[in-house]
Amino acid sequence: NAGVTQTPKFRVLKTGQSMTLLCAQDMNHEYMYWYRQDPGMGLRLIHYSVGEGTTAKGEVPDGYNVSRLKKQNFLLGLESAAPSQTSVYFCASSYSRVVETQYFGPGTRLLVL
């Protein structure tokens, strides 16, 4: 039981490049989330999904897109990376409602030059 895994662990991009971050969970959770963590700030929700085939915007969705084609996977895409997207990205999942315990992945550190 690996829990929540994220790929890659670290990435450097140039401004304007695109990339996809992959999150996978093996706990059969319905809800999945993408957060970003910036220095001196708490985690902020980018997008989330309440089930396979669904996605919804969170607090800071601009510049990101997501897809949930399979229940166990949640992809976060950056179409045209900007330096402001330099951050640590965390994926999380929960069994059902938001107030249930969320299980976090180890994070992806992204640097946009």
| Min CB(83)–other proteins separation in Å | 22
Distance of alpha carbon 9 from alpha carbon 6, whole angstroms: 7
C-beta of 17 vs 30, nearer to other proteins: 30
2 binds other proteins (CB under 8 A): no
Q: What is the DSSP letter of 102?
A: P
Cα 34 to the center of its chain, rounded Å: 3
Cα 32 to the center of its chain, rounded Å: 8
43 binds other proteins (CB under 8 A): yes
Among the residue ranges 13-21, 41-49, 62-70, 75-83, the one whose residues contact other proteins (CB under 8 A)? 41-49
